[in-house]
Amino acid sequence: MHSDPTTATVHYAIDALNRSADARAHNIANVNTPGFRAHEVDFQAQLADAVRRGDVASAGEPATQPTQTFPDANGNTADLEHELTELMSEELLRNAMINAYNHKTGVLKTAITGQSR
């Protein structure tokens, strides 16, 4: 879809981070649900491999998988502190991706129009 590798990587990362935020929100909403199994979105390794190969399109869909945490006394694997920490960390990363995208489009706009912002 995106011929520019940087733009394709940023789009993929933002999409995966959005999916991860949805999964984390679902985990947080169910932190007190007996027997609930938390999930996470795993995409970093497959994206890094695709970038190394120079073909972000080959990364495939970000995979949602069960977390590898031990259940609590109610059989629930969601950990509120972990989910909130990861949610904040991923939000910072998503904001960095958006800033990178905005910067790149600004540079392209300047190159096309010959005017700076």
pLDDT in tens, 47-106: 999 889 988 888 888 989 999 999 999 999 999 999 999 999 999 999 999 999 999 889
Q: CA-based angle 5:86:91, to the nearest 5?
A: 50
The domain total for the chain is 1
| Contact between 46 and 59 (Cβ < 8 Å) | yes
Structure confidence at residue 75 (pLDDT): 96
| Contact between 86 and 69 (Cβ < 8 Å) | no
Hey, how many other C-beta atoms are within 10 angstroms of the C-beta on 46?
A: 17
Model confidence over 8-53: pLDDT tens digits? 899 999 999 999 999 999 999 999 999 999 999 999 888 999 889 9
The pTM score is 0.84
Structure confidence at residue 1 (pLDDT): 43
Range(s) of the domain holding residue 29: 5-113
